[in-house]
Chain A
């Protein structure tokens, strides 16, 4: 895939922001906000949760991290109506069921990769080199693992996919932060 094809993934921020905002508000409505005596932590969790789902659904299943985020969320029965509402708004209901096979396939992949990793770990102990190149590789490998743990669904990706997903994830996180921050500062402004 040539580099230019990566650019369309980074949509113009304004349209993405609007989409995210709409979905987020929809999700917030569905959340159990009606209880007036919700603790602040619960509310925070609900806000974050609906924000994450809105962000992920704004990608329409084009990226791996969004799919795994949604499938993770769909697993818990309590909040699934929120997920369905956000996803259902774009008539994406079949996508919810399709996430489950992806999960299974990725679990199988995970098992295969784990076994490969174990095999390789045994081999690595045989030839512990002190060459600078192998040290550098070791460092890079460690950081790659950390990155995998950060990005949702990252453990199932190969390196190229990981970097692309990171790109996409960073842009959507930025959008999320922007929207939330302007909402928060709007509330602050209202209090003045």
Chain B
């Protein structure tokens, strides 16, 4: 049952100002699930008005004792867990990820929200040493109206990552979920109201990028925008922010993250890590381990075992508990990925398995492995966001670090080795916001996450995740 398909502003449900709706598709079948109200600039303006009122210095939200704010945030987390069965089904219906993964995402989201609830009464400014007739201190104040634009690959979790720090710091929010996956965000809006957030504190406006997202990025009265998505759009967001009111910008963009498997790695372990590093979430993962560097000494073994694992990966109906991989999100992505398969073949990489559609309905693609990939091939340089493992051979550790770093991305990187010096040296030298040793995608709520270079700027999660959500005010009081 789809309960909520309207815009959520001021704790109320609204029809779109322009009176239009847009279709939401089930990627497992390619069929329409329902229509959702389509937010545009006028609706964003409405939301900004509501948010500004909710942010007024005398408002209930601004006057809340920090511990009380934390209790509200924690209540939302409890409601996510309470409704996990329904929510996970809705997520799977709209996004296509296996139901088990949806549940994992929801628990992780609730834990993230809980984590940030704990920070609320711990965000401290400082008193600073000054002249004896001066009292100097800093205040960490909420920025104000925060626009948040999130992608379709982890709809609920991306929403939680954005809400957590923003609310912990006392801001108000206008969130635009991806036009592919608005349904769970709207359900969560109802939960926020149930949790007791005052009207206008959180507003959810479904809509597209060009009309709705752009309205947020260029709005004169939105104080900050946080965007997770592609590098291409991220750059546009930053431009629009600069052209309008210099709103603060944080970006979490794509990656072409390397996983480096050294000669002393346990091969079975390496194969299993590499497999999940690329194929998790049908590879629709900003940190997907999409360049697998394998030491020459274990290369052949690695390829053989990886092919076997890939062939055994269960692709199918995400509501089936045996399924490990659901469909890609939509037709456009589906086509793009198959184009990359062709590009790989044309460039001379060896197609070891997969490389084609799975089934004849929905957007399923078989887990695909290319071996003999060269650094300059398209499949080695561009973010595919699809289930294609590209394996590159190496024998020099100094060289592989250079090769791993020669990209304008810098989101995640993994290295598998038993050697202490090698592991720590990779950690020092890899140009990535997160480096994982003997693991991959070790995303933990207390550990900051974000990109080097064009994978973005700013950090989410951890204490660092708060930094982009408060404004520092320095106060100097002279004792006259």
A and B co-occur in one complex: no
